[in-house]
Structure 1
Amino acid sequence: MTSRQLLTLSSIISSLAIISSAYAAPTSSKPKTLRKPLTHPLAAGAASSPTSPQSTPRHARAIAQGNEAVTVFGRGSTRQMTSVTHTMMQQSVPGTSPLKVLSQLPGVVYQSADPFGAYEYSSQIFMRGFSQSQLGFTLDDIPLGDQQFNNYNGLAVTRAIISDNVGGVDVSQGAGAIDVASTSNLGGAIETHSLDPSHKRGGSIGQTFGSNSTMRTFVRLESGDLNPTGTRFYVSYARLNENLWKGSGYDHSDQVNAKFVQPLARGSSVKVFFDWSSIQQFDYQDMTMNWLHTVGPNLANYYPDYTAAYNAALGHYSSTVLKTNDPLDAAYYAGTANRVDYLGGVTLDENLTSSLNWKTTLYAHGDSGYSTWTTPYMPSPNGAPLSQRVQTPGIARGGFETALTWKIGRHKLNAGVWYEYGNFTESRYFTEAPLLGQGTLGNPTTGFPGDKIFATPWQEAFSTNTFVFHLQDTYKITDTLTVNAGFKSMIVNSGNSVLTQDAAINGTQVAQGRLEASNAFLPQVSAIWRFLPRHELFFDVSHNMRSFPLDGYGTNVSATPWTASQASFQATKNTLKPETDWVYEGGYRYTSPIVSALASLYRINFSNRLQLITNNSGINPITAVQNVGGVTTNGAEASVTVRPLEGLSIYNSFSYAHSTYDQNVATSSGVEPTRGKLVPNYPQFMYKANVTYRIGGFDTHVDGIYMSHRQLTYTNDLHAPGYFLMNFGARYNFGNAGPLKGITAAFNIYNLTNKTYIATTNELGNNFTNTGYNYFLMGAPRQFFGTISASF
């Protein structure tokens, strides 16, 4: 922490202390909201308890139960908070990723090559210039890691919970709360909450169908209250089958959720959540500008045409692929991902007294599976010019969070500990492909081809101990002024062992050893002042750190020290610093039955930014981790929701972000002119709108997103063009029929104007300049979906 930053923080705290001494007086009033700006509508009537950092404002509950277009702004929150509720999520097609729904929020960019956001390799979220690996994610307080495709410390939210069971999502665009269980949230935090079981016995069913032979089935069975204490549970199942929108292959998933709730005395409870997920996904082919302009957006892999892939590996290409500058890499036989996950957690939320709460969560997560890619760069021993490369990632982690919250006078003190131990393993193999005429590779998702392995390039295992302590005080200085101040201490110790590495295949040997990212004092101060009825001012200042990501062989798009050689690792391990930043934000919030408005300004000083620099092709990349120094971001966001008529809600938001590198970067080939250049992959301007109208049992909406161009290189000599995308949806509730209640038909159109656009960028890393190997994925064309649902 610099002396200037210390002076800034101490000045803020000193000013608040002066205000405190002038206005403080004993009271039994409850503090205003500080973290979660909204509970789910179904829980609106639940009694408040000291476990929550806040109670739910009456107005927010009214909006949630009504007809909000997109978001509920965090009235009473000391930082910028917005929420997406269960009701709002129902505007999207069932099965849509909760992260995709967040794309309507100011400052948030979500991209995916498929309309559901289910294709995990392409799932990508940015917030105020931070990528998903620099944000924090939780589900019912369970840490979900950094949401990368080859996740080493968590689980994608789409695999952690069925979207129909999401009760709401709270988003902190600036900095997550001190007690968010994350070691990566340099930027904000995304906290997903599951629905509680219903008090009434019954269930719900839904069937979705649509473009690309999409079929999705969802069933949830509710036990209802089993006894006078309110013991209850639900079990749910979802199954998705959809074909790729270009080429052959599919996205298939099965998922089970279960949740159990046992109410206890004094408003306490025990809650148990379980998730099982199984996915099999085919890849969309990565694109380049050359391939887009020569072949077009529908370029796809050869699967199931093994003959075409075999001939291409021999150098015999179709006339279409021959148009490209790299016909060998323009298409392959197939790439797939196959994963099975188990996630479980139990939470004791115990009100020891009317003013003292103890909350503890125990959790565990196991992940296994394999990914395949058919490569023409490694021939098989039998003479076939190609082979199948297989990777086998695995995660086994468990931990606990425990915290005490004590209300005393105008103070709410909260202190807690989070500990996690995790193992991450990954191996790479090559398996034999058949000679032409003697069979094919078939469907790579049908099982791990262990009996055909002929080479093992590497095997690697990581272990990590995470310990985080936090302490904070929420002080209601007056009835209109509330301050939250605290800090967290973080220690993340990680190390690896490389069981196998074949330099003849890999071309390099990666490092082994342990690193520790630690900081004893990561402070945060935030405040809210309600200076007039319905009018609020807020600010937040926070210091954040990200632990070193784990990877040795470039399987993640992350800047990890373990990709270095052993000599480089040893030379830098004692001086290498983790990424840190200071985030400053302030804003204005207005809330009334007719208008909800939010405006904010922010500045981010990002220090010691580590970047993954990629050269050569994405198939044979040369990657290196480099400290590119500091990044400075200045931005502004504004949102307004207007409800001029009963049933009509109109939402608009605008965001601007100017995020640039502070200096040039010296490399082995010279100095790269990055100073003053925009950070890749994030647009400077975004405009978002949503119009929702409801009358009786019918409701409809239209939403749109404009996004300015995004840089694809660090020197800004290549960019993805901007675009405007629209979606449409309508639902009608037909009422009840026999045992079925609330029979509803829904119709959705994704990409209403059939826009051709670039969706995911940097899935293989960014280059300094336009090398021709600057990869991205195309967004899906116009898609149609229909859903029939009912409860019983």
Structure 2
Amino acid sequence: MASIKTHHGRFLAAILGSTVMFHDFSYAAPSHHSAPKGRTSGVQSKQGAGHVAAPRRASGPVRSQVGENVDVAVKRAGGGGMMRRETAPHAVQTVTKRFIAMQSPTNTALDLVKNLPSVSVSTNDSSGILGGAINIRSLTDSDMGILLNGVPVATAYYLNQNVDSENLDHVSITPGSAEINLPVTSAAAGVMDAGTIAPDHKFGGMMDFSYGSNNLSREFLRVNSGDIGNSGVRGYMSFSHEHARNWIGPGTNERRHLDFGARKDFDNGSFINLFASWNHQFTAMPLYPTSQQFFDKKNGRGSFSYTSEYNPANPSRYSGLVGNMWDQFFITAPVHVVLPRKFTFDFKPYYVYNGGYSYNGSLFNASANSVTLGPNGEKLSGSVPTTSTYSVYRPHAGAVAELSYKIDRHNTLSLGYWFDYQDNQVNNLYSIATEDGNKNFPYAAGTGLYQNGSRYMPYQGDSGWYNHSLFVRDVARYLDNRLEVNAGFKVSMINRWSKNYASHAPRTEENTVVPLPQLGIGYKIDQHNQIYVNAEGDYRMPDPGSLSSVFDAQTGSYVGNPYNAKPQYLIKEELGWRFDNKYLMADLSFFNYSITNRLVATSVYVNNQAISTTINAGNQTARGFDAMIAAHPIYHFSPYASVEYLHATMDSNLPATGLLNGVTVADNLPTKGKRAVMAPHVLANIGLTYDDGKFFGNFAVHYTSSQYTTFMNDEKIPGYFTDSITVGYHFPSFGFVKSPTFRLNFNNVTGSFVRTGAYGLTNNAHATKGVYGSAISASGSPTYYLYPRFNMTGTVSLAF
């Protein structure tokens, strides 16, 4: 294997994370006694529908009856659940079940974290079905590990498919850091980990019904089995159905979702915790406007949306021929085994299947490409209205195994192995459209385009990776557990491959070895104050599809990609302070990032032909601070505020091509010293929650300052505000009905029509001069996410 060279070997490695053995939840190291019946083990509190248990506060470390020190991670929350007490030796930002339960059931994890200090969130719609994107400390969600119960799922765009919000217990973000034993391959920007609720010990359940703007309707039902006989097994199953119209332009979206959870606890502290989900949805894809289209729409001069009327001469603009059908199945079953002689073993397998197709209308030039309708049908000619379909099959599987040994009362040593595999198969198919503009089933032979008796597919891609990672860590606690030192090292050996079966080019593959050292130190000054310092290395693999050979129009053949990118590597240092007492909690963290081989998706040229690929844009630096403060309830009011200051700059010039003396030459855009894209200087949030047990409410305001959307800093989004309001009432229980509740959720109360993020970045919006004097033409206009205008959701819920 070929390894990349780094200058970071001098860093000690460390385990990130709290004092927990199993990072998904606040987990106390097990004693040899089972949890009392009616309560969950560890600190996974019993989760009844419509009920949030108040956590008990421990005064310090708890000593077990067998003489073993047990650290209990106390998870108090402030600001109405918009902030949680943390003890890990690195920055952690969390929203809890109390806050989640006040929000609209349509909210995804993406919507729930939008008021945390480190993140700027962009969403497509008010229903949550269409997903969105995250920007965090000048990086994107492509640079993040996106997890559910500690195992990887798809990017932020697909977060709605993982779990229903009613089954979420918390959502945490560790900006810029990842625990050594987490199964992540892209954690330069940190980790988002959503944790699901624990099954209840009693039979029951809950249901809710929502209706709202844009013809939104949603139904949800969850049933808890309770403890099943004397087996110690308990579980739940839920189902939801959602339907909504696009808030701008034509088209409707529909989603069906199923969640299943089960848990078995053993007397010695071992457990098995299963979670599985299935998601099926049809979506009408929106158009993402350029700045000119945005201003035209805002000022009433036109529309950039798809049309609801079919024109055979322009099928690409018809909404009926643009959409997406997607299925996802997810399952994980973490196992924790307490072994004799101070050993414990954790095994965390997972499997995720993603598959479906996206399609758009197009005019197919049958005169230039000889095709038939069906394998033995008539030959087509002229311009034929068709649907171009990208069929996707994407299995993803892996497992983490970790063996831990308690050396003495101070040190616990862990050895682990992580295996991860993903295969991404994409085929581009064409089918004719019906006379009235409807799409045909993309896999139907009779309506598909064929060439020489085989299905016409100009692109048949297969790319993926194998990841073998070994890690070692030691958790040391001294001074009556007030001092904690986490140190570890992980090395990842990655084999990436890519193949375009539409060409005669050979399969391309590459081996990479990435070292990841970590060190975290936390010290509890007293019962109210903690300081911590953290340093680590993180990385991101380039998309394996970027290894594919590209077509050279001059030679008429496929050639190797001359811009084969190296993995992005990041060194991060962090210094933080936390405070917590009976009135409020505060968190302040300073951070510094040094990014090497920054990965950028862009267009480059091969013999005068533009191709889309991933390149290294040199180095980047980001530094700043996050601050959070939240109060515990004061006369039922719980305020919250947070702010981030970020200064991120590009340290290198961006590769490009220009025209010099009539010849296309390699050049660089003069980007060194310019602000990094999507890196606002200021993010700020305020929130206030009221809850007296009957009436409850919450409002939150978010501010993002201006940010550039081109690497040359010649186009940007101005600063903007977003807002949300919740009001609700808990009615008295009656009969078997418990805690009937009505709530209203309002978003964008001011009706702002603003851009919240870049869907597509570009190098330079205007022509410019390169470093070596060539004339570099404009690379196009960035496209944008729009903040949905005023919308409301009303929800009725009850438990039984």
**TM-score (normalised: structure 1):** 0.84
1:606 matched to 2:595: yes
1:753 matched to 2:762: no
Task: Please name the residue that 2:418 is paired with.
Answer: 418
1:291 matched to 2:293: yes
Instruction: Describe the shift of the 1:468–1:698 C-alpha distance in structure 2 as closer, same or farther (beyond 3 A).
Output: same
* Mapped partners of 1:3, 1:378: distance in 2: 50
Instruction: Describe the shift of the 1:210–1:175 C-alpha distance in structure 2 as closer, same or farther (beyond 3 A).
Output: same
Indicate the percent of aligned positions where both proteins have the same amino acid: 20
Output aligned runs, 1:206-285, within 5 Å.
206-285=208-287
Instruction: Describe the shift of the 1:448–1:729 C-alpha distance in structure 2 as closer, same or farther (beyond 3 A).
Output: farther
* Mapped partners of 1:126, 1:768: distance in 2: 20
Give the counterpart of 1:440 among 436, 440, 444: 436
Task: Please name the residue that 2:560 is paired with.
Answer: 569
What amino acid is the match of 1:103? K
Output aligned runs, 1:44-443, within 5 Å.
55-58=71-74, 60-61=75-76, 63=77, 68-74=80-86, 76-120=87-131, 123-145=132-154, 147=155, 149=157, 156-296=158-298, 299=303, 301-307=305-311, 310-312=312-314, 334-353=321-340, 355-376=342-363, 381=380, 383-384=382-383, 386-407=385-406, 408-434=408-434, 439-442=435-438
Task: Please name the residue that 1:718 is paired with.
Answer: 715
Task: Please name the residue that 1:768 is paired with.
Answer: 764
Instruction: Describe the shift of the 1:379–1:211 C-alpha distance in structure 2 as closer, same or farther (beyond 3 A).
Output: farther
Q: List gaps (5 residues or longer) in structure 1.
A: 17-29, 150-155, 314-328, 502-508, 552-559
* Mapped partners of 2:148, 2:342: distance in 1: 26
SS in 1 for 2:166: helix
What is the CA deviation profile of residues 566-621 of structure 1, one whole-angstrom value per residue up to 9, with x for unaligned ones?
97637676xx53111101111111111211111111110000112112489xxx97
Output aligned runs, 1:432-581, within 5 Å.
432-434=432-434, 439-442=435-438, 451-454=446-449, 455-479=456-480, 480-501=482-503, 512-519=507-514, 521-551=515-545, 560-562=546-548, 564=550, 569=560, 577-581=566-570
Displacement, 1:69? 4.5
Cα RMSD of the aligned pairs, angstroms, is 3.1
* Mapped partners of 1:402, 1:289: distance in 2: 49
1:626 matched to 2:618: no
Instruction: Describe the shift of the 1:35–1:584 C-alpha distance in structure 2 as closer, same or farther (beyond 3 A).
Output: farther
What amino acid is the match of 2:535? V
Displacement, 1:333? 5.7
Instruction: Describe the shift of the 1:626–1:462 C-alpha distance in structure 2 as closer, same or farther (beyond 3 A).
Output: closer
Q: Are the counterparts in 1 of residues 604 and 656 from structure 2 also a CA contact under 8 Å?
A: no
Task: Please name the residue that 1:664 is paired with.
Answer: 653
Displacement, 1:406? 2.5
What amino acid is the match of 2:152? P
What amino acid is the match of 1:581? L
What is the CA deviation profile of residues 205-240 of structure 1, one whole-angstrom value per residue up to 9, with x for unaligned ones?
010100011001110011111123421111110111
What amino acid is the match of 2:328? D
Displacement, 1:115? 2.0
What is the CA deviation profile of residues 379-409 of structure 1, one whole-angstrom value per residue up to 9, with x for unaligned ones?
7946456421100011123222111222331
What amino acid is the match of 2:162? A
Q: Are the counterparts in 1 of residues 469 and 492 from structure 2 also a CA contact under 8 Å?
A: yes
* Mapped partners of 2:176, 2:22: distance in 1: 14
SS in 2 for 1:424: strand
Q: Are the counterparts in 1 of residues 172 and 192 from structure 2 also a CA contact under 8 Å?
A: yes
* Mapped partners of 1:215, 1:54: distance in 2: 47
Give the counterpart of 1:699 among 679, 684, 696: 696
* Mapped partners of 1:141, 1:229: distance in 2: 26
SS in 2 for 1:500: coil
Displacement, 1:270? 1.6
Q: Are the counterparts in 1 of residues 238 and 258 from structure 2 also a CA contact under 8 Å?
A: yes
What amino acid is the match of 2:540? R
What amino acid is the match of 1:341? Q
Q: Are the counterparts in 1 of residues 621 and 650 from structure 2 also a CA contact under 8 Å?
A: yes
Instruction: Describe the shift of the 1:689–1:511 C-alpha distance in structure 2 as closer, same or farther (beyond 3 A).
Output: farther
* Mapped partners of 1:570, 1:216: distance in 2: 47
* Mapped partners of 1:176, 1:721: distance in 2: 32
Displacement, 1:117? 3.2
Q: List gaps (5 residues or longer) in structure 2.
A: 27-42, 48-54, 368-379, 450-455, 552-556, 659-666, 767-777
**TM-score (normalised: structure 2):** 0.83
Q: Are the counterparts in 1 of residues 710 and 761 from structure 2 also a CA contact under 8 Å?
A: no
Give the ranges of 4+ consecutive aligned residues of structure 1 lying more than 6 Å apart after TM superposition: 1-4, 45-50, 329-332, 570-573
Displacement, 1:443? 6.1
What amino acid is the match of 1:569? G
Q: Are the counterparts in 2 of residues 388 and 431 from structure 1 also a CA contact under 8 Å?
A: yes
Task: Please name the residue that 2:705 is paired with.
Answer: 708
Task: Please name the residue that 1:20 is paired with.
Answer: none
Q: Are the counterparts in 2 of residues 375 and 389 from structure 1 also a CA contact under 8 Å?
A: yes
What amino acid is the match of 1:464? W
Displacement, 1:85? 1.4
Instruction: Describe the shift of the 1:282–1:570 C-alpha distance in structure 2 as closer, same or farther (beyond 3 A).
Output: closer
Q: When you count helix as a share of all residues, which structure comes out higher?
A: 1
Q: Are the counterparts in 1 of residues 538 and 571 from structure 2 also a CA contact under 8 Å?
A: yes
* Mapped partners of 2:172, 2:725: distance in 1: 24
Instruction: Describe the shift of the 1:611–1:561 C-alpha distance in structure 2 as closer, same or farther (beyond 3 A).
Output: farther
Instruction: Describe the shift of the 1:572–1:103 C-alpha distance in structure 2 as closer, same or farther (beyond 3 A).
Output: closer
What amino acid is the match of 2:592? R
1:639 matched to 2:647: no
Q: Give aligned pairs, total.
A: 715
Q: Are the counterparts in 2 of residues 492 and 518 from structure 1 also a CA contact under 8 Å?
A: yes
Instruction: Describe the shift of the 1:33–1:624 C-alpha distance in structure 2 as closer, same or farther (beyond 3 A).
Output: closer
Q: Which stretch shifts more, 400-409 or 294-303?
A: 294-303
Q: Are the counterparts in 1 of residues 127 and 244 from structure 2 also a CA contact under 8 Å?
A: no
Instruction: Describe the shift of the 1:432–1:422 C-alpha distance in structure 2 as closer, same or farther (beyond 3 A).
Output: same
Displacement, 1:332? 6.3
Q: Are the counterparts in 1 of residues 497 and 547 from structure 2 also a CA contact under 8 Å?
A: no
* Mapped partners of 1:2, 1:467: distance in 2: 19
Q: Are the counterparts in 2 of residues 603 and 633 from structure 1 also a CA contact under 8 Å?
A: yes
Displacement, 1:627? 1.9
Q: Are the counterparts in 1 of residues 126 and 788 from structure 2 also a CA contact under 8 Å?
A: yes
